[in-house]
Amino acid sequence: ITQVGAFDLTHVTHDEAINIIKEELGSLSITLHVERNPASLDHVEIVRSPSEDAANVDGKVRSVVARKAFKSGDKELSKLAHETLSSDEQHMKESGQYIKAAVFGGLDGIITTFAVVASVAGANLSTGIVIIMGFSNLIADGISMGFGEFVSMQSEKDYVQAERNREEWEYDNGFEGEVKEMVDLYVEKGFSKKEAEGIISVMAGHKDFFIDHMMVQELGMMPPDPEESAWKSGLVMFVSFLIFGLIPLLSYLAFSTINFKTNKEDALFAIACVLTAVALFALGAIKSKFSTQSWWRSGLWVLLNGTLAAAAAYLIGFGLEALVGGSICDGTTATTIAP
């Protein structure tokens, strides 16, 4: 860190720099100039708006600074982020829940719909059939995905809450036994019995914290989060599925009335392939925010996933059309297959 606002930090100690930064955080806007790794840490701007809660603004900046410090291996920047900036991890956790539902709902929507389009195109069926089957799959799968997300998330919340209720009952009615269990767990993790008893004796005096801690250590469950909403997550999944699942059908809806010099169905399918490929790569890049993969690698993996699914669907449609004959697929003749 070489400069904070108008202050030059090149000739001050670390503690003096911390104090200067803390004082500057009271201003509307400051800029931290970083020269560790110019490629990824060019500068970090901290903006404080009078209409926003200070903890929220600072917390968001801390997460950005901390991640950049980790990626670059900059220990000083990491220390600075934790000493001067507050955290807003709970807010980010809640937002992340719905972002992940949107990303994975979108991925399922675009891949499954494009698989249907590819299979119909492989069978050399008409544009009308592509639209009918595509929309039927889009709506049906969208409802299934959204409702499935709601049911699975609500079931998990109910189960976790039931386990917490049981742990709370055991705390109220078998306090000594719960304390002994936790002491034994700490001893198994390498603490001495004296150390474990000292730690647990302090924790046990804080009921809610102790019960939550028991759930993690004994049951391997995170405590129930009252901010999580199963119906919101299901709704986000449903809407995302519909929006992104519509992309493979856009070419058939927007360009079906155009007269192409080449085969019309082939041209529409080619446009659908391009639109779908771009959307898959973009979603994969967004998905990298929840993993350690680079954005381009994640984008390519998702694109590969969609390509394999579509290729399989196309080949199955092509093979079945060749097997049973185009007339059957078109519905122009009826064929009786003798036993």
> What pLDDT shows up at residue 25?
57
**Winning range, highest mean pLDDT, from 5-19, 94-108, 290-304:** 290-304
pLDDT over threshold 90, residue 280: yes
Q: Quote the tokens at residue 294.
A: 């680079």
> What pLDDT shows up at residue 264?
85
- CA dist 92 and 55 (Å) reads 13
Given a contact cutoff of 8 angstroms between Cβ atoms, the answer to whether 283 and 303 are in contact is no
- CA dist 36 and 65 (Å) reads 13
Cα angle for residues 295, 108, 98 (degrees, 5° grid):
70
> What pLDDT shows up at residue 40?
47
pLDDT over threshold 90, residue 106: yes
pLDDT over threshold 90, residue 338: no
Cα angle for residues 117, 119, 124 (degrees, 5° grid):
95
Give percent of the chain above pLDDT 90. Answer: 48
- CA dist 221 and 245 (Å) reads 34
Q: Say if pTM beats, i.e. exceeds, 0.85.
A: no
> What pLDDT shows up at residue 100?
82
Q: Quote the tokens at residue 234.
A: 């299901």
pLDDT in tens, 198-224: 999 999 999 999 999 999 999 999 988
Average pLDDT over residues 27-36: 50
**Winning range, highest mean pLDDT, from 6-10, 42-46, 64-68, 173-177:** 173-177
CA dihedral 144, 148, 150, 154 (to 10 degrees): 160
Given a contact cutoff of 8 angstroms between Cβ atoms, the answer to whether 58 and 49 are in contact is no
The pLDDT-based confidence of 61 (bands split at 50, 70, 90) is: low
Compute φ and ψ for 10, nearest 5 degrees: -75, -20
